[in-house]
Structure 1
Amino acid sequence: MFPWKGNPIDAGKMGALHTLDYVVLLTYVVILVVVCVRVSRRSPDSEDLFLAGRSLGAGMVGLSLFASNISSTTLIGLPGAAWSSGIAVANYEWMAALVLLFAARFVVPVLLGNRLVTVPELLEKRFDARMRKYLSAVTVFLAIVLDTAGSLYAGAVVLQVFFPQLPLAPTIAGIALFAGIYTAAGGLRAVVYTDALQSVVLLAGSALLAGMVFSEFDFSWQAMVAAVPADHLSLIRPLDDPDLPWLGTLIGLPILGFYYWTMNQYVSQRLLGARSIDAAAGGSLLAAALKLLPLFLMVLPGAMAVALLPDLQRGDEVFAQLVSRYAPAGVAGLILAGLLAAIMSSVDSALNSASTLIAIDFVQPRRPHMDTRALARLGRMLTLGLMALAALWAPQIDRFPGLFAYLQQTFAYVTPPLVAVFAMAMWNRRIGARAALYGTVSGHVLSLLWFVGSQLGWLTLHFTIVAGVLFALSCLAMAAWQIRFGGAPEPDRLAAVRQEASWRIAVPLRVGMAVCALLTAALVLSFW
């Protein structure tokens, strides 16, 4: 998700890397390659390629969920947005924690209880095959055009900051080739194990940089508060705030977060690969706890930079300048390794999920007798093919100034009807298949009309508020179509989303979720 405005940073002046930085960076790359080789040693069948043999524990699930979400644009964008407009950008992070807890408690048991390979399968069980293909097609499009291509482009531009001599297109191709090969070779198991390594590197590098920035204030909270404008240290902003109004936080962010963390195969594939419902729920709990850290590790350092770097031209330069001025030899290499980790974890996740959706939701229904090895070969070819498509498109992003400012808005217009149909599938027993399909299409027609109106200046609501309104209108459209068509869903359709007693998660995990929710509430109240 890209909750900030502006393009990735330009290739500007960065402090020269020291020999120790190169040693740290090379060490990280070698460790990553060794992990990939060990995990990918055997040729996986389709169950291994797409779901890691349903063998993932809570730790691997949680670390991979966190790493797949933290992209190179996150490391650049969060401190940049905090420098420009304050810490309200962290609302995307703590809201993700609440969404993960909700999903773990009420959605994960249904997903794993049905032994799904893809999330769209649930819509086929509840409605019909048309809804499955509709959700799958939209998800593949977003994964390739936005997630993969955007991460490749942002990652290449970030690398150009450290190595200005790198050309854009070949750098994108190199990143795509490396991520595509190990994803195709090892499937989800390789993705998850490398993500676990990358999440540790990300957290370590971010924590070190945050500590160095805070040390400029002698580790005094009072000194920092006195130096930073008061409006930069508030999470909840006025209704007319141009960056993130409180109403958008209330009604829009939960919709965007629910799609991203629950419906998006790019992320939810880790949950589907868990060895049990408790492992998936535990992984969601771990990821939710980790999502409380970016406020302290990435956002607050950006706000502190208002006092430290007052003469910058734009927020996108903040991260690079902080590394250049405050990271000593060795630490800069670790931070660069964190950037590489963020790039790889985003790209490998999107490639693996898109190939899974195409193979399972489009090819397998037409060829039901295809054996698991043949399906795995198809998945590997799809991964490499999708990698090539994303790598070809990514350099074109350079032709669209400000595209990254519209990425989050694209999610805001595209995903609310999808969240609406998923909510109806899970918690409305009256909506049938025709009403679900017609209502979703109606929601996307409304989204398109609203988007055109906003571009023409006729509609000026903040896109997070628009997301909440479009969700409500899509639900109403489905209800209206149901009245028009009549009839009730078949009992076996409703059985797909019924919570069985055997699907309940363990009591200690429920307690942990309650504690995490209280910690989230305390964080929000502390920075209100």
Structure 2
Amino acid sequence: MISDVLLPMSAGGSTPDFTVRALDLSVIIAYLVLSRIIPLVAQSRMKKKAKAGGKETDESEDYFLGGRNFLWPFVGLSLVATNMSGATFVGLAGGAYEQGISIFAYEWMSAVILVIFIFFILPFYLRSKVFTLPEYLEQRYDRRSRMAFAGFNLFANMFIDMAAALFAGAVVVKVLYPDVPMLVSVAVLALLAAVYTVIGGLGAVIISDSIQATVTLIGGVIVLIATFNAVGSWDAVTEAAGEERMSLILPADNPDLPWPGLITGVLVIGLYYWTTNQLVVQRTLGAKSLDHGRWGSLLAGFIKLAFLFLFILPGVMALAIYPELDDPDTVFPTLVFDLLPVGVRGLILAAVIAAITSTVDSILNSASTIVTMDFVKTLRPDTSQRGLVFSGRVATVVALVVAIAWAPFIAQFDTLYEYLQSVLSFLVPPVVAVFLVGIASKRISATAAFVTLVVVQPLGLLAFILTQVVPEEPTIQFLYAAGLSLALSVVMLVVISILGPSPDESKTKELTWKKDYWTEETAALKGVPVWANYRLISVVLLLTTAGIVIAFA
């Protein structure tokens, strides 16, 4: 009967039927085809329009930074799409099911960090005209720091960011097709993302991200409405979840997210991700101007606040419908197949694929940019523009293969979000220190930056293995470990800098903070309309963030 095909199972009944119907499959295929064609066609037209208008860019700048011509809506949506990944649907819902809405800390903290980024960090990045953040370190410090950080970026791209995104997609595929090996699922998802990344570069990625962010957000709205309708009332949600799962601020002895960890860990991880990670910052490096970079970042901040309702609360609501799921990371596909009709399921699955591929394509472009600009161009400066682009494409394929091989190993962690936050807590604090302290103080030397990176990061990796992987239970809460690592990094930076000679002024003059910058900008902003004044919009974003945190504290 038609009703048997079009209507979902009753919520809370037997195990959902995870069969992908013909209509679902048609929607998914149509999406996959269109989402690969549209970005390439649109990018081609944009390039022709730019040439017709007399704007010429280097082939490498066009491929890796889209000609530095992105308007703020594209910057903002691309930032969100890159961040959403498969971990948004799968990881946030699973994490919320297991530990409650407290995982929203990573989202609301992002809004605060993006404000810090556009006020104090982004201006220096755009002033330096760099392709990559390792290149920025060479301008601020020296080539040693550039190479050390470039190497870490490649490691993080392949073993943390891309592997996690592919694993999240494989979790969904495993639910739908249990007999398909995870390695096969990962490989297929990776190839889907690689198609337009290899061909079109960042220009195609930005356009694709904008489309996919929109689709993903629509998918989140649909799942939220369907889940709440299945639960029936807010009281049923709070009763099933309990007081602790419905609180953003948890006790200091909480094993998952103790409140001091918001400062010692969540803030540190967020500063790395939003201000020093090539994967994310590359979107703002391609902005048409500083204003477009700032407005796009603010748009991303407002959308991040909506994640509480679109991706986290459905995971908490699921406690009232499925109180005894064995694997938290299967919450999202269970909601989709149990609560949504055929056809709509296909749209949501397309949104998941959008989230996964948008992150993977961004990571691939980031990795290829670093390999090309930080290694190939640095070691072989005479390489032609065409040769640089070819090197980037080869690097994309290699990074893809490595991530495909590593992704299945993530399964040993309880949840995807636990893997991401734990490993970052041990590895990124020295990066945050080197960038931010280097911008804040002209006294920090090149030797101090290099030593901090090459000493503290390997120690962090060793500590991660010894405290999180080897023992049956972690021997230190990872958010506290991040704070300890940051403190060690700052001490090393300061002490080594004081003991050595002062840096050359040519390395610090334009790339360290001065009060004059603020005074000059204040004068320039007089008379600027309210809607265009990034400072006023930033205040609105911070007040909105504070309101949500207080409401759910």
Structure-1-length-normalised TM-score? 0.91
Shift of 1:329: 2.1
1:245-394 matches, within 5 Å, as 245-394=258-407
Aligned to 2:135: 121
> Deviation string for 1:20-71 (max 9, x for gaps)?
3223223312320221330454899211111000011100010010011112
Q: Tell me the CA shift for residue 226 of structure 1.
A: 4.1
Query: Distance in 2 between the 1:177 and 1:350 partners?
Result: 13
Q: Taking structure 1 as reference, are residues 452 and 215 closer, same or farther at Cα in structure 2, changes over 3 Å only?
A: closer
Aligned partners of 2:398, 2:214: CA distance in 1, in Å? 30
Partner of 1:288, secondary structure, is helix
User: CA, structure 1 residues 401+214, in 2 after alignment: closer, same or farther (shift >3 Å)?
Assistant: closer
1:156 counterpart residue number? 170
Is contact 1:73-1:151 (8 Å) kept?
yes
> What residue ranges of structure 1 are gaps of 5+ in the alignment?
1-11
1:462 corresponds to: 477
Match of 1:517 among 534, 542, 545: 542
Do structure 1's residue 473 and structure 2's residue 488 form an aligned pair? yes
The residue number in structure 1 matching 2:144 is: 130
User: Partner letter of residue 165 of structure 2?
Assistant: S
Structure 2 segments unaligned to the other structure (5+ residues): 1-14, 48-57
Matching residue's letter, 2:396: T
Out of 15, 22, 26, the residue aligned to residue 25 of structure 2 is 22
SS of match in other structure, 1:65: helix
Q: Pick from 504, 509, 522 the counterpart of residue 490 of structure 1.
A: 504
Give the distance between the partners of 2:149 and 2:210, measured in 1 at CA.
28
Match of 1:209 among 223, 237, 254: 223
Counterparts in 2 of 1:453 and 1:376: CA distance versus 1, 3 Å: closer
Question: Residues 305 and 178 of structure 1: is their aligned pair in 2 closer, same or farther, counting only changes over 3 Å?
Answer: closer
- Assess, with a 3 A threshold, how the Cα gap between structure 1 residues 449 and 381 changes in structure 2: closer, same or farther: closer
Moved more, 512-521 or 491-500: 491-500
What displacement does 1:13 show?
5.6
Contact between 1:205 and 1:331, CA under 8 Å: does it hold in 2?
Answer: no
Aligned residues: 514
Change beyond 3 A, Cα 1:491–1:103: same
Aligned to 1:291, the other structure's residue is in SS state: helix
Amino acid at match of 2:28: L
Distance 1:50 1:477 in 2: 34
Deviations 1:319-353 (A, max 9, x none): 12211221122221111001101110111111110
Give the stretch that moved more between structures: 380-389 or 515-524: 380-389
| Percent identity between the two aligned chains | 39
In 2, distance between residues paired with 1:222 and 1:495? 58
Q: Distance in 2 between matches of 1:491 and 1:224?
A: 59
**Does structure 1 conserve the Cα–Cα contact (< 8 Å) formed by 2:107 and 2:307?**
yes
Alignment partners' CA distance in 2, 1:300 and 1:60: 27
Cα distance in 1 for residues equivalent to 2:503 and 2:246: 50
Cα 1:388–1:309 change in 2 (3 A) is: same
AA of the residue aligned to 1:472: A
Asked whether the 8 Å contact 2:171–2:329 carries over to 1, the reply is: no
Work out the CA distance in 2 between the residues paired with 1:126 and 1:239: 38
Structure 1 pair 178/227, CA: closer, same or farther in 2 (3 Å)?
A: closer
Equivalent residue for 2:455, pick from 430, 442, 447: 442
Counterpart AA for 1:300: L
- Shift of residue 309, structure 1, vs aligned partner: 1.1
CA contact (8 A) 1:160 1:166 kept: yes
Whether 2:436 is the aligned partner of 1:423: answer: yes
Alignment partner for residue 140 of structure 1, among 151, 154, 160? 154
| Partner AA of 2:484 in structure 1 | V
Change in CA separation of 1:235 and 1:397 when aligned onto 2, cut-off 3 Å: closer
Cα distance between partner residues in 2 of 1:160 and 1:450: 32
| CA-based RMSD | 2.4
- 1:508 aligned residue (528, 533, 543): 533
TM-score by length of 2: 0.87
Show the counterpart of 1:8: none
Q: Compared with structure 1, are the counterparts of its residues 171 and 330 closer, same or farther at alpha carbon in structure 2 (3 Å cutoff)?
A: same
Give the aligned residue type for 1:355. Answer: S
2:68 is matched by which residue type in structure 1? R
Q: Distance in 1 between matches of 2:131 and 2:380?
A: 16
- Mapped partners of 1:440, 1:358: distance in 2: 19
- Structure 1 residues 175 and 317: CA distance shift in structure 2, 3 A: closer
**Structure 1: distance between partners of 2:454 and 2:36:** 44
Aligned partner of 2:95 in structure 1 is: 81
